[in-house]
Structure 1
């Protein structure tokens, strides 16, 4: 299907497969009953595993075991963060680079909340095609916006009813890793400009550059071998901007975590290993009300 079967679009299917596998684990941290349908519908991913028993090697599989657990953990942590923001007063949620995210359908949102999903037209059309086939009904008002985040997405967002005077929960999950530094700076500036007091922003970055030993490690090697995705080739390799410092200069309170912090907290998920592809990942939680999350 156009939009999800090449480049970064493939990573959306990879995450969907990981969420599907997580959903069927007896100790699942997150549940997404829609995820396996995306994987099965796209030709390129139709034979990928969507249940734990379909994973060769089980949790020892670097892709569907260790990295899959990472995506399951990330899903749970960000689910909790978004719903906490919504119940604390955010009336809008903006999913930047929404991909195959189904949070508009599967989370418990307070009445009146609006979820905006921003991504490329092909990705959103594929997602809508699958959801229509499932007769899926969103749990909040849902407004997909087909626009490339390298273009004027703020204008597109405002034209669909987004209110910058209302607290918003922003999410950039697995997005900034692929953007060039200038695009990341524009995104952070735009989010700040459009955010009322009480808004929150959750985003993920990868500190870099990664060593040759890490790039040759088991997670990246297994991903290339099993599904033909070369993740390091997709990551932008330019020096990253100091988005945390920029937000703090603008009055945001920001806390920084490793995924291992939450793996230990939940008792599940990946822990550090030598030459670890996850060791440079950081999860950022920013709050414009001045209180750390």
Structure 2
């Protein structure tokens, strides 16, 4: 089970228990408690000695909570506009099929490695959790033929869909990101939507000593900068625009101001280059 997926789950658990929560995920803390590597991690901000002043469990976890809320809203808007297929690329411990009020005829496809999906299934089964809509796990590595695996289990390329690549692309080499975005374009009908997270920094290592990365290394032993791909990033938003998608790129801080809570810019800020991209495929 990947530690980064568990970090996001722990952050969602902390967010869930806040009095001013932006997103609710009742399953998140159960994933954290089921994984031996992180049973000592907090699932409530009250369990953190320095509370919201902690760069990891305060500011960074709040970032993940805000991202969860913004992408929840994106999925709900897209399904309200007619999409009935949701595709989670690198689904990890995402529980949107269980916790969002999606249309009853919606199908959620969860693409990730078999081990990740098996761990998730084990925890959810132990909780007797029932998805609100049809949920189709697709156990395949994104480096393999995930498009073939997706269509083999019923994904309809002729019907509108909504896709999430949440916290995924900057772990991939640039050519792999290009292939993924090209494949999404190839598989989607007009009216489909895609949201993904990008990083604009020219030099990721310039932020090695930032409070967020330092605290993540020190407190839970995850060196995110070792996991991020250091090669040049493609202009995926530009590529989609050239293919007839409408795209918009936003700083997370815009949503902090919109919702009245979340991280704001700081000096030496590892979040400064993060962008959330929202795209919709227009009719030809």
Q: What TM-score results when the alignment is normalised by the length of structure 2?
A: 0.98
Alignment of structure 1 residues 211-230 onto 2, 5 Å:
212-230=205-223
Contact 2:71 2:195 in 1 (8 A): yes
1:22-56 CA-partner distances (Å, limit 9, x unpaired): 00000000000000000000000111000111112
Equivalent position of 2:263 in the other structure: 270
Contact 1:175 1:204 in 2 (8 A): yes
Equivalent position of 1:244 in the other structure: 237
Query: Per-residue deviation at 1:210?
Result: 3.3
Q: Which among 66, 69, 87 is matched to residue 62 of structure 2?
A: 69
Q: Which among 146, 156, 164 is matched to residue 153 of structure 1?
A: 146
Equivalent position of 1:25 in the other structure: 18
Query: Per-residue deviation at 1:209?
Result: 3.1
Residue 189 of structure 2 is aligned to residue 196 of structure 1: yes
Q: For residues 228 and 209 of structure 2, what CA distance do their matches in structure 1 show?
A: 15
Contact 2:6 2:32 in 1 (8 A): yes
Other structure's SS at 2:61 match: helix
Q: For residues 194 and 39 of structure 1, what CA distance do their matches in structure 2 show?
A: 34
Gaps of 5+ in 1: none
Residue 127 of structure 2 is aligned to residue 134 of structure 1: yes
Q: Which among 172, 181, 191 is matched to residue 174 of structure 2?
A: 181
Q: For residues 159 and 23 of structure 1, what CA distance do their matches in structure 2 show?
A: 35
Output the aligned Cα RMSD: 0.9
Contact 2:85 2:160 in 1 (8 A): yes
1:126-166 CA-partner distances (Å, limit 9, x unpaired): 00000000000001100000000011100000000000000
Which consecutive aligned stretches of 4+ in structure 1 deviate over 4 angstroms post-superposition?
A: none
Equivalent position of 1:124 in the other structure: 117
